């Protein structure tokens, strides 16, 4: 396949000859090669998500490896990190290998397996990190739950220091709110009569963890940063040279606490949607690199798990198909960020954090052919019914957002396409 005339983020028009999974020299493309006219389109390196819940095994009614990665390809992702909070939990080398093999047979993009930090996500005893690392896992996380025990977190970071792995923490002190906490603690939660999580439940754990990262030299990754206080802690830690990276979700960049007034449980998520000052803080931090990456925290839920009173509904929302749309609208279209920085935050840097060798590579001859063609000007109201996900908890439904992805090529294979000029073959 020969993609002609696409613009790169640096502004150059380039041809890409995709052959045997890599970019080859366009001058060597045979005359009868399949051609895609990409004039007017932008070529981004395939996006990499550090934080995806694929729900398989255990909740195949909400999502599967096949449907979740198809949603990923529709969103421009060529690699997702599959979180460990499945049923059973991914806490052994055998379970990690099962996901790897199922993905190899069924996935539309690369799947990097995240191993659990503790057995059964119970927060009591380290899982067999060594065996999972030997099988190829580079990221470990109890996401969905916080590794609250300081000594366990220290041991996990010591393992990270010894092996080059990274510990991705869901930073939320479970003891800083009651069992019915379900939103951001603020005047809005008080008006709605809901129990809230204070911003400090997040930043207090991050403050502890960056000091443990300094103590151990183990790499720490902070999942879904949502508060201004966490941004302050990260700035302090990075200024000290502590090995910490951080991600922000599309929903924490765009959606705010007052949406909860509708009572719609689609907006229930952990950490919760915050107020405007926090949104501004995480946007600024993403622009200046204090927050290193965008990650979706794509969290599909069956309708029955959301059709409950707000405090009891499952937390989480979809993200893979609209992540790029949100980042373009909130960050690029407002002038906060340019395209080369978007490529850093959504491809190069997350690939580096997760140590995924074939992802986040330059769009150059000899490199793996992971590329997404986008039309930055295309917009459309978000229609959840057209989603590839099995779930419908899409917080962007009805919003007029960029609808940019035209084609996603993963390891040289067309994983998603709506370019009219590409004849299947």
Task: Give the interface segment with Zn ion, choosing from 11-19, 153-161, 169-177, 255-263 (CB under 5 A).
Answer: 169-177
The minimum distance between CB 243 and Zn ion, in angstroms, equals 21
| Distances in whole angstroms, Cα of residue 379 to Cα of each of 118, 335, 392, 401 | 43, 18, 20, 5
Point out the residue whose Cβ comes nearest to Zn ion.
170
Relative to beta strand 413-417, strand 183-184 is: unpaired
The answer to whether residue 143 forms part of the interface with Zn ion (CB under 5 A) is yes
With CB under 5 A as the rule, give the number of residues binding Zn ion. Answer: 3
The residue (of 223 and 327) whose beta carbon lies closer to Zn ion is 223
Q: Which of 152, 170, 159, 154 is nearest to 137 (CA)?
A: 159
Interacting residues of 350 by C-beta distance below 8 A, sequence separation 6+: 48, 49, 50, 247, 292, 293, 294, 295, 360
Identify which range of 39-47, 99-107, 216-224, 240-248 contacts Zn ion by CB under 5 A.
216-224
Q: How far is the CB of 144 from Zn ion (least distance, A)?
A: 6
- Select which of 49, 256, 297, 329 is catalytic: 297
**Region of 11-19, 140-148, 161-169, 259-267 interacting with Zn ion (CB under 5 A):** 140-148
Q: Give me the least distance between CB of 194 and Zn ion, in Å please.
A: 20
User: Nearer Cβ to Zn ion, position 46 or 350?
Assistant: 350
**Residue 195 is encoded by which pair of tokens?**
């129990």
Say which residues have a Cβ less than 8 Å from residue 348's Cβ, sequence separation at least 6.
45, 360
Site membership for Zn ion, residue 251 (CB under 5 A): no
Task: Name the minimum Å distance from CB 170 to Zn ion.
Answer: 4
Q: Which of 154, 170, 274, 301 binds Zn ion (CB under 5 A)?
A: 170
Distance in Å, CB of 355 to Zn ion, minimum: 20
Closer to Zn ion by CB, 143 or 321: give it: 143
Tell me if 360 sits within 8 A of 350, measured CB to CB.
Answer: yes
Which tokens go with 32? 């009868």
Which region among 70-78, 220-228, 232-240, 259-267 touches Zn ion (by CB under 5 A)?
220-228
Shortest Cβ distance from residue 370 to Zn ion (Å)? Answer: 26
Measured CA to CA, the distance from residue 249 to residue 45 in angstroms comes to: 19
Residue range at the interface with Zn ion (CB under 5 A); choices 56-64, 114-122, 142-150, 339-347: 142-150
Question: Which CB atom, from 168 or from 237, has the smaller least distance to Zn ion?
Answer: 168
Q: Does 142 bind Zn ion (CB under 5 A)?
A: no
CB of 17 to Zn ion, least distance (A): 40
297 is catalytic: yes
Instruction: Please give the residue ranges that form the binding site for Zn ion (CB under 5 A).
Output: 143, 170, 223
Active centre residues (catalytic): 297
């Amino acid at each position: 396949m020969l993609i002609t005339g696409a613009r790169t983020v640096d502004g150059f028009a380039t041809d890409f000859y995709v052959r045997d999974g890599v970019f080859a020299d366009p001058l060597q493309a045979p005359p009868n090669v399949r051609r895609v006219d990409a004039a007017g389109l932008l070529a981004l390196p395939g996006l990499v998500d550090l934080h995806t819940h694929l729900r398989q095994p255990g909740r195949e009614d909400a999502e599967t490896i096949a449907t979740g990665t198809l949603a990923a390809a529709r969103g421009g992702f060529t690699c997702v990190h599959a979180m460990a909070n499945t049923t059973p939990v991914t806490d052994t080398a055998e379970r990690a290998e099962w996901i790897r093999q199922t993905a190899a047979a069924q996935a539309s993009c690369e799947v990097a397996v995240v191993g659990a930090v503790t057995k059964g996500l119970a927060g009591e005893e380290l899982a067999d990190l060594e065996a999972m690392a030997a099988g190829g896992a580079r990221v470990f996380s109890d996401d969905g739950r916080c590794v609250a025990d300081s000594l366990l977190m220290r041991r996990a970071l010591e393992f990270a220091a010894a092996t080059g792995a990274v510990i991705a923490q869901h930073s939320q002190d479970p003891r800083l709110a009651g069992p019915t906490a379900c939103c951001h603690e603020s005047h809005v939660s008080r008006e709605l009569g809901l129990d809230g999580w204070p911003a400090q439940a997040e930043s207090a754990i991050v403050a502890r963890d960056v000091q443990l990262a300094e103590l151990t030299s183990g790499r720490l990754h902070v999942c879904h940063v949502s508060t201004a206080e966490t941004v302050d802690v990260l700035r302090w830690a990075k200024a000290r040279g502590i090995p910490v990276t951080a991600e922000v979700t599309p929903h924490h960049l765009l959606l705010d606490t007052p949406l909860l007034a509708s009572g719609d449980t689609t907006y229930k998520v952990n950490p919760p949607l915050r107020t405007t000052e926090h949104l501004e803080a995480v946007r600024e931090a993403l622009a200046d690199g204090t927050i290193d990456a965008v990650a979706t925290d794509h969290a599909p839920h069956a309708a029955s798990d959301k059709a409950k009173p707000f405090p009891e509904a499952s937390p989480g929302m979809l993200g893979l198909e609209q992540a790029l749309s949100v980042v373009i609208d909130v960050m690029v279209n407002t002038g906060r960020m340019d395209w080369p920085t978007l490529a850093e935050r959504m491809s190069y840097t997350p690939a580096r954090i997760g140590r995924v060798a074939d992802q986040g590579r330059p769009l150059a001859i000899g490199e793996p052919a992971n590329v997404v063609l986008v039309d930055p000007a295309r917009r459309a109201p978000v229609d959840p019914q057209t989603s590839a996900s099995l779930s419908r908890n899409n917080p962007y439904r009805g919003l007029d957002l960029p609808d940019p992805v035209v084609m996603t090529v993963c390891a040289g294979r067309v994983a998603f396409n709506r370019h009219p000029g590409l004849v299947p073959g």
